[in-house]
Amino acid sequence: MLKTWKDFLKEEEGMGTVELILIIVVLISLVIIFKEQLIQLVESVFEKIVRQANTI
């Protein structure tokens, strides 16, 4: 019975790794899909920061 319990715990550790890899894959996919929109957003934010910094 103790061996069965240890085997169960080992399986659960593997699931954490699989879940982490899936989350990373989804995030990378979203970045690839929305790459242009993200670039435009970051550029506009930095332009606004520079403009407001120049007024101070």
State the pTM of this model.
0.52
Question: Structurally, how many domains does the chain consist of?
Answer: 1
For residue 11, the enclosing domain spans 2-55
CA 5, 9, 11, 15 torsion-angle sign: positive
Range ranked top by mean pLDDT from 14-18, 20-24, 51-55: 20-24
What's the confidence (pLDDT) of residue 29? Answer: 96
Q: Do the beta carbons of residue 31 and residue 38 sit within 8 Å? A: yes
